[in-house]
């Protein structure tokens, strides 16, 4: 594709300073400066990248491009104001000095020329006006009361405002894209948000250059698809081009060698658009990599099967383990957010993470005991088969409550064999149902049973039980007294406590 530029990272530095440009019209609108354009095209698209003062006869070596050049005409020979003469050489026609001067400004990429009518000149030379008209260079008349430093300061103030606005726009776009990536349909959502932010179209292309998903509108679909195919054929990460209708095109390779490309088409190219598109490219790289990778595809398959009614035991092989641990965790001091939860999962070696209110739950393969994680309090279940995940979840919750109450970094639920194994399961459960029936019949049975279980596990400590359950110690006393009344027994009796503990473990 002719005109396409494919630039490996890092990109070649731009020809102008990487600062947000400001419209020349915005500078002319400043009433305190009283600037007036007297020559050159009144193009609303003319922008300034800075301001520079020079009295050199040839300013070309001192311009970077995009500047408003300010001069008081000190360099203009006296004869040039009338017949175009210049020191040291004869001129063939009036105004040749100014033609040379303006042509050099245009060749250097100057955006506009500001001419001060004081203290050297009373008016702007007519030959300079004619030269600016001929070379289509905007010419501003700077009145005597306006200093060049005030003009330069105004330009930088406008640029700072533009920079702040662009940074705010980029920040809002990043947050918007991140929120889109967390939706149930993350890829289409990210593309829709990106298309909205750039005011054009965003397309995800597959390994063969075919469109997988897209959002927004553009008249340059064919050139954008061609740019994506061109990028796929080369070892580059970005490509840029301009369509015949002037639409700005950009393409970004997603990941290393996976063959996905993000294409972006927009009617204009604002300074922050590349940053916004790059953020979207990173998010799409993660999303496409997750869906394409074996583990990610297996986890998605397992989730779909569970939602469609499959038993946990049927989907467990897709997750890569037969025995599992459930871990419940709370942060010690930091705020709980998805990033912190994902980091905890990475520390425990599992991507199966659930952020549930103030607790993070992680499903971990039981191939090694979890280690304490700095800044976290953990409760760990006994290892369990998929059919027992629900019971293991309850075990982890109780272990976390105990860890929180005892200020211990990690508490594991006991899983060793004991006296309980001497009683057949059906008989143990029948005995538990009979013993706990008075409490189970109460309207507040769930709270009473959980309080009794926690209180027994903490050896009858009112304070620790209150901490573990996040209630007042008087509430604990009232609930335990209610349990004792319903059961008609003395909870200070160690035999009663042992029997209740046995029954609660069967509950």
Question: Are 74 and 120 contacting, i.e. CB atoms less than 8 angstroms apart?
Answer: yes
Does residue 91 carry a pLDDT above 70?
Answer: no
Per the prediction, the chain carries an average pLDDT of 83
Which pLDDT belongs to residue 79? Answer: 60
Is 133 in the same domain as 208?
no
User: Measured between alpha carbons, how far is 185 from 206 in angstroms, rounded to an integer?
Assistant: 17
- Banded pLDDT at 102 (limits 50, 70, 90): very high
**pTM of the entire predicted model:** 0.47
Is 26 in the same domain as 153?
yes
| H, E, C per residue of 478-498 | HHHHHHHHHHCCCCCCHHHHH
pLDDT digits (tens, 9 = 90+) for 170-225: 889 989 998 888 877 788 889 999 999 999 999 988 877 778 888 998 888 899 98
Angle between helices 312-319 and 294-307 (to 10 degrees): 170
Q: Which of 251, 256, 248 is nearest to 226 (CA)?
A: 251
Question: Are 446 and 454 contacting, i.e. CB atoms less than 8 angstroms apart?
Answer: no
Angle between helices 273-292 and 186-198 (to 10 degrees): 170
Does residue 28 sit within a domain? yes
Task: Please tell me the total count of domains within the chain.
Answer: 4
Question: Are 294 and 260 contacting, i.e. CB atoms less than 8 angstroms apart?
Answer: no
Q: Is 188 helix (H, G, I), strand (E, B) or coil?
A: helix
Residue whose structure tokens are 């990028």: 231
CA separation, residue 41 to residues 1, 136, 303 (Å): 33, 6, 63
Is 30 in the same domain as 126?
yes
Which pLDDT belongs to residue 293? Answer: 52
Parent domain of 257: 183-292
Does residue 40 carry a pLDDT above 80?
Answer: yes
Is 392 in the same domain as 337?
yes
Please report, rounded to a whole number, the percentage of residues in the chain having pLDDT higher than 90.
36
Which pLDDT belongs to residue 33? Answer: 95
Which pLDDT belongs to residue 247? Answer: 92
> Cα-flanking dihedrals φ and ψ of residue 120, to 5°?
-85, -45
Does residue 44 sit within a domain? yes
Q: What integer is the mean pLDDT of 473-489?
A: 92
The H or E element spanning position 203 is strand 201-205
Please report the beta strands in 332-385, taking only residues with DSSP state E, as ranges in sequence order. 353-356, 359-365, 376-380
Structure tokens at 388: 């027992």
Is 43 in the same domain as 107?
yes
- Banded pLDDT at 258 (limits 50, 70, 90): low
Q: Around Cβ 5, how many Cβ atoms within 10 Å?
A: 12
Which pLDDT belongs to residue 9? Answer: 38
CA separation, residue 275 to residues 18, 197, 279 (Å): 13, 11, 6
Is 451 in the same domain as 328?
no
Does residue 450 sit within a domain? yes
CATH of the domain at 187: 3.30.450.30
Does residue 171 sit within a domain? no
Is 278 in the same domain as 359?
no
Q: What integer is the mean pLDDT of 277-288?
A: 85
Question: Are 41 and 24 contacting, i.e. CB atoms less than 8 angstroms apart?
Answer: no
Q: What integer is the mean pLDDT of 150-154?
A: 95
Does residue 167 sit within a domain? no
Is 36 in the same domain as 146?
yes
Does residue 323 carry a pLDDT above 90?
Answer: no
Please report, rounded to a whole number, the percentage of residues in the chain having pLDDT higher than 70.
87
Q: What integer is the mean pLDDT of 251-270?
A: 83
In this structure, of 70-84, 117-131, 375-389, the range with the lowest mean pLDDT score is 70-84
């Amino acid at each position: 594709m002719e005109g396409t530029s494919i630039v490996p990272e890092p990109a070649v530095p731009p020809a102008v300073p990487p600062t947000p440009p400001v419209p020349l019209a915005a500078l002319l609108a400043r009433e305190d400066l009283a600037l007036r354009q007297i020559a050159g095209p009144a193009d609303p698209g003319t922008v300034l990248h800075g301001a520079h003062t020079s009295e050199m006869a040839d300013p070309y070596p001192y311009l970077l491009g995009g500047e408003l050049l300010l001069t008081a005409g000190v360099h203009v020979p006296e004869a040039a104001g009338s017949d175009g003469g210049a020191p040291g050489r004869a001129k063939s026609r009036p105004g040749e000095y100014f033609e040379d001067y303006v042509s050099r400004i245009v060749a250097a990429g100057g955006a506009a020329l500001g001419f001060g009518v004081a203290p050297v000149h009373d008016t702007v030379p007519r030959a300079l006006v004619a030269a600016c008209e001929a070379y289509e260079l905007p010419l501003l008349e700077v009145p005597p009361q306006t200093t060049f430093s005030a003009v330069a300061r105004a330009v930088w103030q406008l640029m700072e405002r533009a920079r702040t606005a662009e940074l705010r726009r980029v920040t809002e776009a990043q947050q918007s894209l991140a929120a889109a990536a967390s939706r149930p349909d993350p890829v289409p959502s990210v593309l829709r948000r990106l298309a909205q932010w750039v005011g054009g179209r965003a397309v995800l292309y597959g390994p063969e250059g075919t469109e997988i998903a897209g959002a927004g509108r553009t008249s340059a679909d064919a050139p954008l698809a061609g740019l994506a195919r061109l990028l796929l054929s080369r070892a580059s990460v970005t490509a840029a081009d301009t369509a015949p209708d002037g639409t700005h095109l950009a393409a970004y390779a997603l990941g290393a060698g996976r063959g996905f490309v993000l294409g972006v088409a927009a009617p204009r190219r604002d300074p922050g658009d590349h940053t916004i598109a790059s953020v979207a490219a990173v998010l799409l790289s993660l999303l496409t990599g997750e869906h394409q990778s074996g583990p990610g595809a297996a986890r998605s398959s397992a989730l779909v099967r569970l939602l469609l009614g499959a038993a946990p035991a049927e989907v467990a092989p897709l997750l890569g383990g037969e025995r599992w641990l459930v871990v419940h965790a709370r942060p010690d001091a930091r705020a709980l957010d998805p990033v912190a939860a994902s980091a905890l999962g990475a520390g425990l070696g599992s991507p199966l993470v659930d952020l549930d209110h103030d607790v993070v739950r992680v499903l971990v393969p039981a191939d090694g005991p979890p280690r304490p994680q700095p800044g976290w309090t953990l409760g760990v279940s006994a290892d369990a088969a998929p059919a027992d995940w629900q019971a293991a979840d309850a075990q982890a919750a109780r272990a976390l409550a105990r860890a929180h109450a005892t200020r211990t970094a990690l508490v594991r639920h006991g899983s060793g064999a004991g006296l309980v194994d001497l009683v057949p399961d059906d008989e143990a459960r029948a005995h538990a149902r009979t013993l706990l029936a008075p409490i189970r019949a109460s309207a507040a049975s769930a709270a009473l049973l959980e309080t009794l279980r926690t209180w027994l596990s903490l050896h009858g400590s009112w304070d620790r039980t209150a901490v573990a359950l996040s209630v007042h110690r008087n509430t604990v006393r009232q609930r335990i007294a209610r349990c004792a009344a319903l059961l008609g027994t003395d909870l200070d009796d160690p035999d009663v406590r042992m029997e209740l503990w046995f029954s609660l473990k069967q509950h």
